[in-house]
A and B are shown apart, each in its own frame.
Chain A
Amino acid sequence: MEGCKRGNRRAYERLYELHAGRLKSIAFHLVGSRADAEDAVQEMFLKVYRAMDGFEGQSSLATWMCRILINCCYDVLRKKGRAAEQPLRAEAATESKVPMKLALERALQRLNERQRIVFLLFEVEGLRHSEIAAVLQIAEGTSRSWLFEAKRELKRSLMEKGA
């Protein structure tokens, strides 16, 4: 982080190596395509670079970057004139060979935004509730509650479809 604060390019590259995988995946689930996800990640890094000097480390660098990324994803969706709830990614659906995975991807699109994002961060990307709380700036209990609502909706949706 100190290297980044000094504007050291190598430090930013290290940051990219450490976090890009997870950040791209989160962005992909929010914007629906790999190209848009990469645009969002690029924009996020630019914003991190501009704001690094003001980052005081109250949250971890990873959760701070994740918070910025989510906002970048919403910007990408706005620019593209798409609603966040719009069905996502034909590419992943066609690649999938696993019925449960495919059914889950489709069911996920029917969740509301807050349920979907908490589910993605917890179940898909493996963030802890404390981290999700920091990213979304909500209470840890709220994160748990939204996750439960999300899973209950997914269960209902999957049962209706006979998964």
Chain B
Amino acid sequence: MKFECGDLDRALSMPELMPEAREHFKQCAACRREYRLWTEISTAAKELHEEWESPELWPRIQRSIDAEPKPQPAWWKEWKTWAIAAVALIGVSAAVWRTWQHMAPTSPQGSTAVSNAADRDFLTEQALAEVERNESAYRQSIDKLSQLAQPKLENPASAVSVNYREKLVMIDSAIAETRANLDQNRFNMRLQTELANLYREKQETLKELLTRDQKN
């Protein structure tokens, strides 16, 4: 390619053309002058940087910052969001727990409703603690019932009583297994529901045993 004066602008934007441009400058004073000006612009530009002392500027900035209300830190904004989310979760969990409490011990059909509620696989830690407290109280009341039934179970008076004893052994075994599974995953709502149903079953069985013996 033969470098011509019209190629100068292109060469200035494309460094790979500069060797040819420099060859051209040897014969062309006008282009040489233009190129010198191009480099002088950059040199002179450095001198345009302005430096001056401003002893009052930082104190002014400091005063204006001091007059500002302290910005809320990120954790505070996040905390507000989490607090709202936690309140909503507690509300939902409480509703689930109420459903579980009312349905599980009384009606056999309740298990369907409970398992619908149990579609929410996980409870919050707080709701879970509440569930565990109630479960513990429920277990204690059933244990009292068991103590009342204990003499009848140890010395069954009839084949039916033997059946009740075997059924209770099976229920206790299922309770133990479910509780062991729950220890692996305390937040599993389906297992919590299953456990509640087993306790209900045990309660019903003990009631039947005691009332039957009273009738007899």
Contacts and interface: CB of A to CB of B under 8 A. Distances in A.
Task: Answer yes or no: are A and B bound together in one complex.
Answer: yes
A18 interface: no
Contacts of B47: 98, 101
A82 interface: no
A162 to B, nearest CB: 11
B49 to A, nearest CB: 5
B109 interface: no
B65 A24 contact: no
B64 A13 contact: no
Interface string B49-67: 1111010011011101110
B31 to A, nearest CB: 12
Contact of B52 (A16, A34, A152): A34
B60 to A, nearest CB: 6
A84 interface: no
Contact of B57 (A38, A50, A126, A154): A38
Contacts of A120: 48
A100 B45 CA distance: 9
A111 to B, nearest CB: 12
B65 A9 contact: yes
Interface residues of B, number: 34
Nearest to B71: A53
A42 B61 contact: yes
A50 B71 contact: yes
Interface residues of A, number: 45
A17 to B, nearest CB: 8
Nearest to B65: A49
A111 B45 CA distance: 14
A142 B71 CA distance: 37
Given A9-B65, A123-B46, A125-B49, A151 B41 contact: yes
Main secondary structure of the interface of B (DSSP, over half): helix
B70 interface: yes
B73 interface: yes
B60 A154 contact: no
A87 to B, nearest CB: 15
B5 to A, nearest CB: 13
B71 A119 contact: no
B34 interface: yes
A101 B44 CA distance: 6
A57 interface: no
A21 interface: yes
Interface in A1-55: 5-7, 9, 12-13, 16, 20-22, 24-25, 28-29, 34, 38, 41-42, 45-46, 49-50, 52-53
Interface string A92-120: 10000010110011001000000000011
Interface of B: 9, 12-13, 34, 37-38, 40-42, 44-52, 54, 57-58, 60-62, 64-66, 68, 70-74, 77
Given A12-B65, A20-B54, 8 more contacts: A28-B50, A42-B60, A53-B77, A126-B46, A151-B12, A155-B41, A159-B34, A159-B37
Interface of A: 5-7, 9, 12-13, 16, 20-22, 24-25, 28-29, 34, 38, 41-42, 45-46, 49-50, 52-53, 92, 98, 100-101, 104-105, 108, 119-120, 123-126, 148, 151-152, 154-155, 158-159, 163
